[in-house]
Amino acid sequence: MLKVLFFGRLREAAGTGELALELPAGVADTDALRRWLPRDNLQLREELERLSVRVAVNEVLASPAHPLTGGETVAFMPLVSGG
């Protein structure tokens, strides 16, 4: 199972902080996942399209198109508002 986490504005737009799903067909990396997740949520799509959104895979910051096999935890994080 793939675990997807959303924080801040992204959590609000997604309506949840956490999703568990099988890797969807045709989704091979975090960039494709980012485009697949908001397929029926316009607000989430707008938030995920922001260039400032960062992606972590298994708690390590990842490149925008990090390969996925289906067992990872993928976190989508908006710009931090500071400590």
Partner 1 sequence: MIRVQAEPFDAAAELGRFTDALANSGAVVSFTGVVRARRDAGEVCTLELEHYPGFTAKVIAGIEAEARRRFPLEDCLVIHRFGELAPGEPIVFVATAAEHRRGAFEAADYLMDRLKTEAPFWKREQRPEGAAWIEPREADLRDRARWDEKVS
Contacts with partner 1 by CB under 8 A lie at 5, 7-9, 11, 56, 59, 75, 77-83
Collapsing DSSP states into helix, strand and coil, what is residue 4?
strand
Least Å distance between CB 68 and partner 1?
18
- C-alpha span between 62 and 66 (Å, rounded): 6
Polymer length in residues for the chain: 83
Cβ atoms 77, 10 nearer than 8 A: yes
Least Å distance between CB 11 and partner 1?
7
Least Å distance between CB 3 and partner 1?
13
Please identify, using beta-carbon distances, which residue of 26 and 83 lies nearer to partner 1: 83
